[in-house]
Chain A
């Protein structure tokens, strides 16, 4: 089943086009993937750190204005990441580091949905010096941990090629 998906992905025109650009498409997409990573850490990471108690004086609502940069970084990384998987499917689909990365992305995704549906509205009302409720700190901790794990697992993909 996975092998069929992998073979099919690598037989697509997009896969051939992406691979055949050789020197440019792959390294440049990787560079974009790293820039997206920096945007994500520089927005979601800083919001998480504020929720955990760092940088008092900046309200949650103010630091949260950085989130669009994180969303932009995430979109860049979804596009470039998808290109990597399509371009060299079997190197990812059967790769344990990649599987762990996807697992942590799933946990981060559930965590962020949970935060926005249960705590976001109340957190926005907190003042600049507010200490966050334990529940909010826990969600920020999970988010930060997941993104750190995602970066490490992503970096480890090269070393776990099947």
Chain B
């Protein structure tokens, strides 16, 4: 296979840096993101030593993916993604502080089923208590497919209903696997 040195710039450079930094298991996702941003800002181009054709093709393909995903749905920093390959997916993410502003609200955080199973009911209610707007609580229930009565109006009632629905979901799945 032909060995050659070729500069990487732009999206290909960014993709390469991301891949290298994310491959380091000791660096968590947030630190990896910061490190990649800084390297990307300070390095104009990279010249890969001993890059073979396949490696360069991979870098180019990765750059396309990165460019495409820049237009995709925003990804919360605390969740695994299709291209965030360094995230240890066998350690499910639990509750990060949910956003309370409607424009930035992430209806998948906290992941109610995961928090109930890993930290219990009280911790789930505590995590949900950070979401204050009724509309956001209802949006979370809808997006996480946790059925709650539509006429509930108080945040406390909705939080309890969400937890109850998640408990039903867990029991339902367990029953089907027996």
Co-complex (A, B) = no
Give me the interface of A with B, judged by CB distance under 8 Å.
none
